[in-house]
Structure 1
Amino acid sequence: MRVQMMDQLSEVFELVEVRGLVSGRFAVQGPWVSRAELQDPFKFVAMAGGRARLTTDGIDAPIELEPGDVAILNNRARLELSGGSGDGPVREVVPLEVDFELLPADWDTHDIVIGGRIDLNEAGRTLLGEALPPVAHVQASPRTGANLRGSLYRLFEEVTGNRIGSAFAIRQHAQLVLLEVLRAYVEQSALPPGWLRVLTDERLKPALTLMHSHPDTLWSLNELARAAAMSRTAFAERFRAVAGLPPRAYLNRWRMMLAQRALRDGDTSVGSLATELGYASESAFSTAFKREVGQSPLRYRSAIRTQAASS
């Protein structure tokens, strides 16, 4: 089974079915506060214009959001945003849903907030949860700010424009905002061990390319180390430190992600899938799949398709 060659972050994005979805927004002048109890594992807050202070559980001090900044909240229970200035009373703001019309806003005088959620499949929730801190604060720096601010501006224009095809456009722009956010986060932050960090490690990239391109091959530690031009010991230590797990475990996880996509999207038999992914037998593949995913391949396929039919 050969994966089409593309950059590895795009590969993972496709496999975990990542989607950025706008769920609400507001534009306000004067002192204000907005509070919410969070139900979704991953939320994002984009400061399209103006400034705000973000408070949530798991952080010691409020985070100051500047124009163009985005924060991703990782499994937080509550959120409070506050901003504005002046002597008037503090206004309690409830974000408007996307389908509601938003009053015209002045980018120079209003605080403009776009909120949303990040939807992923179960594998994606695990991977992103491991890769991000409680709050990933992405700043619109001189290096990354132009693209991120441009994406936010286009998203805001679609959210407020009420034009034909806006629902489709909002989904696409939200995807691009999420991609720009993760790109900027990778460049700005010291990443914890996990998939996001290992995908951006240049020294390990040749070994990752082997595993991603030929998941049916049970790559030895010597072969992977040679591809990375490192000694066996140095490669094993670096891989575990960067990925958070040894190479063989990473390869197994990658295989299971490919298997989940194949079971979701096609009618390949379990036996054929086992062969394509390099397993000696259907039973060996089924055992590995159940250990990683929590249910057998056939049960997984049935559950995913039942869920899709009812949604």
Structure 2
Amino acid sequence: MSVQQADPLEDVLALVGTTSRLSVRLVAGGEWALSFGPPPAVKFVAVRRGRCLLTVDGVPDPIELAEGDCFLLTQPRAFTLASGRGVRPGPAGPIFAAATDGVARVGTGEDLISIGGRFDFGERAQELLLDALPPVIHVPGRSAEAATVRWALEQIDAELRDRPLAATLVTEHLALVMLIHLLRVHLAGPGAASGWMAGLTDPVVAPALRAMHARPAHAWTVAQLAEVAAVSRSTLAARFKKAVGQSPLDYLTGWRIELAAERLGRGDQTVAMIAREVGYGSESALSNAFKRVTGASPREYRRRTSPGGGGSPATWPRGRLGG
């Protein structure tokens, strides 16, 4: 069975509204250590010169960062950057608040130069994306797989240094390119993710995932998805359950509800129109599935999550895409 296939990672990143923001550079020398509180968003740091030591709350071993290395902190955990072990850290906040010309300085000299920033996501990112990732993703710059990450960082450096027209917008877009490549490098490793993201690296599960994302409104059967994956029904069902944590059709239901919830939040379509777009033959069929997964009817969900409606999508129960 030949069908159009989509990119689930791209779909989820678009659904959760990924944006980026760069911070000031950090220049450090001598013996130094800075403690950072739990960031409100996904934090990233890239070492452009020198080396430092990263320690994250709840992560047993420190991570040595060399020139060209990057890390993503996917959970709100306190962390420390230091020149080495045994240096007592001071708070990072005053150092960055005192930054001049886009540079925060600590210690003496320029042994280390790093750039950092944050990625902000919509309400559903925690369950759809971040829960499927480890608390810290470390990508060594010397690895061949990180070549595009290195390229993006070099371009960001050039934009920050020369400040041409629209430099802020360009660097924010380059940071998103870097994020996608960091996730690609991470997913290429063994046992790198859980839930639906684990399915992206399974040669049997991935074609079925891509097919469902390409045509979420199609009345998929396990037999059709197995044909797309070129395996038997039983093989697909077992592999999908092992990798993603739920059956193919349960995953499809969850993704349809995510799409419906996003459209309900926009408020520019009727419930009947949304039902047709996401694969339900009637408004009542969508309402039944939506209430079963979220605990609310589509109309109630729209009312409670609209501006001034007294609720937020993040506060409502929702089915998960595996895991």
TM-score class, shorter-chain normalisation, is 0.7 to 0.9
- Conserved in 2, the CA contact under 8 Å of 1:44 and 1:116? yes
Provide closer, same or farther for how the CA distance between residues 235 and 263 of structure 1 changes in structure 2, counting only shifts above 3 A: same
SS in 1 for 2:124: helix
Superposed CA offset, 1:237-257 (max 9, x none): 111111122211210122123
- Work out whether residues 198 and 244 of structure 2, in 8 Å CA contact, stay in contact via their aligned partners in 1: yes
CA contact (8 A) 1:215 1:251 kept: yes
- Correspondence 1:32-111 to 2 at 5 A: 32-83=32-83, 93-94=92-93, 96=96, 101-103=101-103, 109-111=110-112
Tell me which amino acid in the other structure corresponds to 1:42: V
**What amino acid maps onto 1:185 in structure 2?**
H
1:4-23 correspondence runs (5 A): 6-23=6-23
Partner of 2:207: 206
Q: What does residue range 103-122 of structure 1 map to in structure 2 within 5 Å? A: 103=103, 109-122=110-123
Displacement of 1:89 in angstroms is: 9.8
Q: Give the TM-score of the pair, scaled to structure 2.
A: 0.80
Distance 2:90 2:30 in 1: 8
Deviation track 1:152-195 (CA, whole Å, cap 9, x = no partner) reads 12223333444432221221121111112111111234223222
Cα distance change, pair 31–235 in 1 and its aligned pair in 2 (3 A): same
Q: Distance in 2 between matches of 1:213 and 1:90?
A: 49
* Alignment root-mean-square deviation, CA: 3.2
Q: TM-score with structure 1 length normalisation? A: 0.83
Q: What residue is the counterpart of 1:274 in the other structure?
A: 275
Seq. identity, %: 35
User: What is the alpha-carbon distance in structure 2 between the residues aligned to residue 126 and residue 191 of structure 1?
Assistant: 16
Letter in 1 for 2:68: G
Residue 35 of structure 1: how far off its partner (Å) = 0.8
CA displacement, residues 20-40 of structure 1 (integer Å, 9 cap, x when unaligned): 322443112222111111142
Contact 1:32–1:92 under 8 Å retained in 2: no
> Bigger CA drift: 54-63 or 148-157?
148-157
User: Distance between the aligned counterparts of 2:103 and 2:121, measured in 1?
Assistant: 32
Q: How does 1:103-182 map to 2 (within 5 A)?
A: 103=103, 109-182=110-183
Residue type of the partner of 1:136?
I
Q: CA deviation at 1:54?
A: 0.9
Where does residue 284 of structure 1 map in the other structure? Answer: 285
Letter in 2 for 1:206: P
Structure 1: how far apart are the matches of 2:296 and 2:114? 41
Cα contact 1:74–1:134 (8 A) shared by 2:
yes
1:278 and 1:28 map into 2 onto residues whose CA distance is 55
Q: Distance in 2 between matches of 1:283 and 1:23?
A: 48
Which residue does 2:218 correspond to in 1? 217
What is the alpha-carbon distance in structure 2 between the residues aligned to residue 243 and residue 97 of structure 1? 43
On the 8 A contact 1:20/1:118 being kept in 2, the answer is: yes
Aligned partner letter, 2:26: F
How many residue pairs align between the two structures?
301
> Which letter does structure 2 place at the counterpart of 1:250?
Y
SS at match of 2:102: coil
Partner AA of 2:51 in structure 1: R
> Do the aligned partners of 1:71 and 1:136 also contact (CA within 8 Å) in 2?
yes
Q: How far apart, in 2, do the equivalents of 1:38 and 1:45 lie? A: 14
Q: What amino acid is aligned across from residue 45 of structure 2 in structure 1?
A: V
**Shift in CA distance, 201/141, structure 1 to aligned 2, threshold 3 Å:** farther
- Cα distance in 1, alignment partners of residues 123 and 292 from structure 2: 14
| Equivalent-residue separation in structure 2 for 1:220 and 1:159 (angstroms) | 51
